[in-house]
Amino acid sequence: MKNPFSFSGIVEDPAFCDREKEQTDLTRLIENSQNILLYSHRRFGKTSLINRIFKDFKGVVTIYIDLYGTTSIEDFITELFKGISSVESKMDKLVKLIREKINSLTVNFSIDIYTGAPVAIPVFAPVDKRPAIDEIFALLESLSQNKKLAVAFDEFQEISKYGEAAFEKHLRKSIQRHNNISYVFAGSQKHLLAEMFANSNRAFYKLATSYPLKKINTEDYVAWIIRLYRKDKRKISKRYIENVVSRCENHPMYVQEFFFNLWDVPNISIEDIDRVESNILKNREAEFINIWESLTLNQRKALKLIAATGGKNIYSANNLSRLGFRSASQISKALELLLKKELVSRNDLYSIQDVLFKRWIEKIS
C-alpha cells in the first residue's frame, strides 16, 4: 500500500484523521447559516477540515476562497470571482450568471489549466471598487435565495493588512444582511483575528461565533493509525503511536511527518522513532537557526527558560537568576515580543508554539 501519510497541504481520506465532533459542530452551524470564526495555530488542519466539510455538503452550496498572498482589494475581488466560478461547471452558465449581476467591472472568462473548469477574471480600471464589491455580495445573496450557501474565507486576517480602513466596514454591511449564508472566516494569526473580531471598535466585532480548532486527541490518532496499518495487513503497537503523538504534543502535521517516515520501517522500535526525530530536526535546522539569530539575547533566554520549565514559575527569583535576567520586567518585555512573533503562546502558562523548535532549543541548551 502507498504511504498513506502526508504532511503538506490539504489532507483527505485516508490521511485525514477523525475530527468527527468538529465536523458535526460546524455542519450544524453552517446549516443554520451562522457565521463562524475558525482559528488555530499554524498547521492544525483548518483548511483540511473546511475542505472535508464542504466537499459533499448536502443541501448547501459551498464556496471556498483562499486569501493567502492577497495584498489588496483587487486581489480580494479576484479571489472572490474565482470562488464564485466554482459554483458553475459550465462556461455558458457562469458567463450568464456574472453578466447578469456584475456591471461595474469588465470580467473576462478563461479555463483553469489544472482543473479544466471555467473561471471569471475581473479586469480593474482605476475606479472606486465599492460598487463591484456590493454587486458581488448581491450575487452571493441571489445564489442563496434558492439554496443555502456557505462561503469560507481562508486566511481572512490578510484583509486587515490591505491598509484600507473602510474596507472591513464595507464588507460587514453586506455580510450581516445575508440570512441564508454562513460565512466561515478561518485563519491562524490569532492576534490579528482576535483584534478584528473581539475589539468593539472594529467592523467584524461579534460578527461570528468563535470556533477554536484544537489538536487531535491521542485516542483518535491511535485508532486512525492502527486502522491504516491494518489495511496494509500490518500491526503497530499502541505504545509507539502514543510515544510519537506525545513527542509531537498531538500536533497533526508533525504526527503525519513522523509516521510518513516510519511507514517503511518493518518493525518499529524506539530507536527508529529517535532516528526519525533527529532527521526531522536536521531538516528544520537552517530554519530554526534563522529564527534564533533574529532574536535578541533576552528573547533567547526567555525561550530557554520556557523550554526548561514548561512555562512554570518563570518569574521566580531562582529561575530569573538562572538565566541571568536582572529583573522581571526584562523577561516580560521579551515574552511580549515573542508572543507578537507567535513563537510563544499563552494559555495558563507560556509555551513554545512549535514543538520541534522547542525540542531544538532543548538540544542546544
Q: Which chain residues interact with ligand ATP by CB under 6 A?
A: 6-11, 16-17, 19, 40, 42-48, 188, 252-253, 256
Rounded to the nearest whole angstrom, what is the least distance from the CB of residue 42 to ligand ATP in the complex?
A: 4
Rounded to the nearest whole angstrom, what is the least distance from the CB of residue 358 to Mg ion in the complex?
A: 22
Exposed/middle/buried for 13, CB within 10 Å: 0-12, 13-18, 19+? exposed
The residue sitting closest to Mg ion, measured at its beta carbon, is: 47
Q: Total residues at the site for Mg ion (CB under 5 A)? A: 2
Crossing angle between the packed helical segments 218-231 and 238-247, to the nearest 10 degrees: 130
**From the list ligand ATP, Mg ion, none, partner contacted by residue 7 (C-beta under 5 to 8 A by kind):** ligand ATP
Rounded to the nearest whole angstrom, what is the least distance from the CB of residue 19 to ligand ATP in the complex?
A: 5
The residue sitting closest to ligand ATP, measured at its beta carbon, is: 45
CA 108 remoteness from chain centre: 31
Query: For ligand ATP, which is the closer residue by CB, 16 or 292?
Result: 16
Query: For ligand ATP, which is the closer residue by CB, 137 or 259?
Result: 259
Cell 535546522 belongs to 285
Phi-psi region of 157 (alpha: psi -120 to 50; beta: other; left: phi over 0): alpha
**From the list ligand ATP, Mg ion, none, partner contacted by residue 8 (C-beta under 5 to 8 A by kind):** ligand ATP
What the block records as the C-alpha cell of 81 is: 470571482
Query: For ligand ATP, which is the closer residue by CB, 66 or 272?
Result: 66
**φ and ψ at residue 166, rounded to 5 degrees:** -80, -15
Number of H helices, E strands in the chain: 15, 9
- Residues of span 7-66 touching Mg ion by CB under 5 A: 46-47
Rounded to the nearest whole angstrom, what is the least distance from the CB of residue 37 to Mg ion in the complex?
A: 14
**From the list ligand ATP, Mg ion, none, partner contacted by residue 258 (C-beta under 5 to 8 A by kind):** none
Instruction: Establish whether the linkage from the previous residue to 14 is cis, with ω within 30° of 0.
Output: yes
Q: Does the protein bind Mg ion through residue 157 (CB under 5 A)?
A: no
Rounded to the nearest whole angstrom, what is the least distance from the CB of residue 358 to ligand ATP in the complex?
A: 18
Name beta bridge partners: 351.
345
End-to-end CA distance of the chain: 41
> For residues 240-265, b (16+ Cβ closer than 10 Å) or e, as one string?
bbebbbebbbbbbbbbbbbbbbbbee
Rounded to the nearest whole angstrom, what is the least distance from the CB of residue 242 to ligand ATP in the complex?
A: 16
Query: For ligand ATP, which is the closer residue by CB, 213 or 320?
Result: 213
Which positions touch Mg ion (CB under 5 A)?
Answer: 46-47
